[in-house]
Amino acid sequence: MEDIILADSVMDHVHGAAVHGTMLYEDGRNGSDLPVFHNITIENIIAHGGDYGIFLEAFDEVPVTGLTLRNIRIDGVVRPMRSMNWKEPVVDDVIINGKSFPRPGGVRILGVPVNGETVKAEARACGGAMDFMYSWQTSTDGAAWKQAGQGERFPVPGTADLIRVTVTDHKGNTETSHEYRVFPKGLSGSDWGYEWQRLYCRGMWEFPGAIPADAVITREQLAGMLLPLADPALRWGGEDGEACSEALRIAVGNGFIALERRPWPDGHVSLLRPDGHVTRQEMATVAMQACGVNYRNASCTMPVCADAALVNNNYGTNVARALYFGFMSLEPDGCFKPRRPVTIGEAAGILNRVADFAGI
């Protein structure tokens, strides 16, 4: 796709994205030649609403080249921009949801914050290359925050219970990370594995040792792990006569977990099924819904695996993408095992990778 001009347009009611381009369509990686996005100019655009303002991504091997974004005003979107693998773009006078681009994005703290040890921050340029300044804050209650240091690396004070980092570019644009729990020094060397420590610091799990990692995870347990990735304002408010956690209602409202209509032995039909299990093909959909990237406008595909015939068609696209992004992987025999229930330990690994991708 090359020599494209989108200019002098007003879009009053956008559903997906005002500007959308991805190489993740059905045959995107097939064959000897990869797709090419080259010489694309988008200027003098006004748009309102949608999931994204600008969604434009390319494979690592073939970045977008010759891209120009100029004089663009977009408002009312859920997520302003997804800019993946842009090579030397020209971005000038682009404002989405009141924020100017390029700007910092994907701000997060790496590893496990531990009292008395050093952590590192990471951020990416959203819409162009730039250098950043890092400013760290600490808190004991999540309400009052105080400045505590500068720089990409930060020694965590022994008194801190929570930390976060703010990234600033040369124009003064700022983005702040998710807040992270600090792991107590004495517990950092305990039998809590790294993945459980990372989930705890992100606020995605409370007591890693309380449930065996090889136990099958329930829908309600999974919903609790997904809370930091969800918008709490999106809550399923229906009733089906079954008690469940607020987390499960929020996970359903955000589209992470689907309602079910499986009857109980007594004939009662539950929509929420808090004690129900989650299959691997269902988990692929959970991962893709929770990772923060919406592929609603992209075409459907099926995964390449030895048991692809066992993957239900309505799950195939998300299975293929969950494998592509590395959220999930095949078994040693090349099978995906789409109908096998997901264990708690497996969910911990998947959701840590999803959270990394989502930038928390």
Q: Other CB atoms closer than 10 Å to residue 214's CB: what's the count?
A: 9
pTM: 0.86
Q: Other CB atoms closer than 10 Å to residue 73's CB: what's the count?
A: 16
Percentage of the residues of the chain whose pLDDT score is greater than 90: 66
For the stretch 10-67, pLDDT in tens is: 999 998 899 999 887 766 676 778 889 999 999 999 999 998 999 999 999 999 999 9
For the stretch 55-110, pLDDT in tens is: 999 999 999 999 999 999 999 998 899 999 999 999 999 999 999 999 999 899 99
Output the DSSP codes for 181-239.
EPBPGGGTTSS--HHHHHHHHHTS-S-TTSS-TTSBPBHHHHHHHHGGGS-TT------
Domains of the chain: residue spans and CATH: 2-101 (no CATH), 105-185 (2.60.40.10), 194-358 (no CATH)
Peptide bond into 341 cis (omega under 30): no
Output the DSSP codes for 253-298.
HTTSS----EEPTTSPEESS-TT-B-BHHHHHHHHHHHSS---TTS
For residues 225 and 218, give the distance between their C-alpha atoms in angstroms, rounded to a whole number: 11
For the stretch 283-342, pLDDT in tens is: 999 999 999 887 765 667 889 999 999 999 999 999 999 998 999 999 999 999 999 999
How far does CA 211 lie from the centroid of its chain?
A: 26
- With contact defined as beta carbons under 8 Å apart, do 331 and 325 qualify? no
- Tokens 């996005």 correspond to what residue? 37
pLDDT, averaged across the chain: 90
Q: What is the pLDDT of residue 273?
A: 87
Helices 280-290 + 344-358 axis angle, to 10: 20
Mean pLDDT of the 176-204 span: 83
For residues 282 and 342, give the distance between their C-alpha atoms in angstroms, rounded to a whole number: 9
Q: What is the pLDDT of residue 263?
A: 67
The pairing of strands 2-11 and 38-48 is parallel
- With contact defined as beta carbons under 8 Å apart, do 99 and 81 qualify? no
For residues 106 and 85, give the distance between their C-alpha atoms in angstroms, rounded to a whole number: 14
**Spatial CB neighbours of 309, under 8 Å, sequence gap ≥ 6:** none
For residues 73 and 90, give the distance between their C-alpha atoms in angstroms, rounded to a whole number: 16
- With contact defined as beta carbons under 8 Å apart, do 14 and 80 qualify? no
With CA atoms as reference, report the closest residue to 52 among 84, 74, 22.
74
